Chains A and B, each alone.
Chain A
């Protein structure tokens, strides 16, 4: 499931991983290392929420 950064809006998509951060495609959000941070704003992993639990972010 996609997870969205509450600070900057970046969406972590497991099907894409985080190539810049060295996270291979297919890595579930839960398996990201604890020190992993949002590539766009540097926020910590606990600042992410599952995409569908936000009641729909404005687009």
Chain B
């Protein structure tokens, strides 16, 4: 395995964990990581801290400069890959450069999904995914004004709190009749809504954006279901992400919702692996940080020749809106045998278990005291024992 060139496309958690895993198994390989972002590896899940000013970009960097040298990982920033030639084992980079590889690992991530409503392409309409998006939102939020957030999911709520914290007046437009419909039941949604409303965020539930129209001075009017028109200086769409499959499709890899990978994280083409938000394993798409790391580690090891049998990652989410804690694990829509629930003020808990007492789905709001007990039960399959 000596003298090989391994190229990783993508500088997020899956890409960096993959590069690290390759180096751990191959002392001599040349390892090149290409990212189209101008930043080194940073914590994407903390970019809300940049939006409301709790941190600058540097505060989110996850490796010291010296680390890249010690690991002998060449990190090329601002490098956009335009094409892959799987038969020739070569990458085409914007600007005309061609990079030959022995092993290629795609960790290109996901892109925000923007529903195709009229006005979606106006300059006032934006998304939050990358560090540069966060810096731009920080700049615009600093001017104050009104913001409409489209989507009341985990990221939409976290973002709403950040924008409200940065001084904007925020209204969230959500299609479901309550907040976090996939993670929380109606009662939990109401608890969460009350907490957010006291922080200055307003809601339009069972609603949806029909169009965004330009108004004076770059502002817009957002038409929502029922005819109401919300004035806004900024519209942030937080309607989920879609795996970035463009490169993979163009070069003929098998793609469904994401780039199809097997338990060794191999794509349909020899010599090409995929990991993270762009990849679709038999256990599904994940789209969250810890799964990206799991897959990156597995894919890197697999590329370096180690036997790998990735069997899926644990599904859990923690929402951090400074003082509002929300945690969800498993699937509240899955069949269950019995449940336990608790509500007192802003503290809410619902735990669903199978016949053996193992957690199948749970949500916590306001207090995370039970989180460890829930994670341990989910991870080990042992019965849930309240903390």
Which among A19, A20, A54 has the greatest number of chain B C-beta atoms within 10 A? A20
Complex CA distance for A33 and B312, rounded to whole angstroms? 34
Q: What 0/1 pattern do residues 99 to 119 of B give for CB contact below 8 A with A?
A: 000000000000000000000
A20-B64, A54-B380 known; A9+B290 contact, CB < 8 A: yes
Q: Please determine whether A42 and B294 come into contact, CB atoms closer than 8 angstroms.
A: no
A 3-59 contacts with B by CB, 8 A: 6-10, 19-20, 39-43, 47, 49, 54-59
Contact of A58 among B67, B312, B375 (CB under 8 A): B312
A-B contact count (CB 8 A): 66
Contact of A47 among B289, B311, B314, B372 (CB under 8 A): B372
Q: What 0/1 pattern do residues 51 to 63 of B give for CB contact below 8 A with A?
A: 0000000000111
Q: Please determine whether B46 and A59 come into contact, CB atoms closer than 8 angstroms.
A: no
B378 CB to closest chain A CB (Å) equals: 10
A8-B290, A9-B289, A40-B45 known; A59+B310 contact, CB < 8 A: yes
Number of chain A residues close to chain B: CB under 8 A: 20
Q: Please determine whether B379 and A55 come into contact, CB atoms closer than 8 angstroms.
A: yes
Q: Which secondary structure characterizes the binding site on chain A?
A: loop
B51 CB to closest chain A CB (Å) equals: 14
Complex CA distance for A7 and B325, rounded to whole angstroms? 12
Contact of B372 among A6, A8, A40, A56 (CB under 8 A): A6
For B314, the chain A residues whose CB sits under 8 A away are 57-58
Q: Please determine whether A49 and B372 come into contact, CB atoms closer than 8 angstroms.
A: yes
For B297, the chain A residues whose CB sits under 8 A away are 59
Complex CA distance for A20 and B130, rounded to whole angstroms? 21
Q: Please determine whether B375 and A6 come into contact, CB atoms closer than 8 angstroms.
A: yes
Q: What 0/1 pattern do residues 309 to 345 of B give for CB contact below 8 A with A?
A: 0111110101010000000000000000000000000
Complex CA distance for A39 and B13, rounded to whole angstroms? 13
Which among A20, A55, A58 has the greatest number of chain B C-beta atoms within 10 A? A58
For B49, the chain A residues whose CB sits under 8 A away are 42
For A54, the chain B residues whose CB sits under 8 A away are 376, 379-380
A23 CB to closest chain B CB (Å) equals: 12
B residues with CB within 8 A of A: 13, 43, 45-46, 49, 61-64, 67, 289-290, 293-294, 297-298, 310-314, 316, 318, 320, 368, 371-372, 375-376, 379-382
A residues with CB within 8 A of B: 6-10, 19-20, 39-43, 47, 49, 54-59
A-B contact sample (9 more), CB < 8 A, given A20-B64, A41-B318:
A6-B372, A8-B290, A9-B289, A9-B293, A19-B67, A20-B63, A41-B45, A54-B376, A54-B379
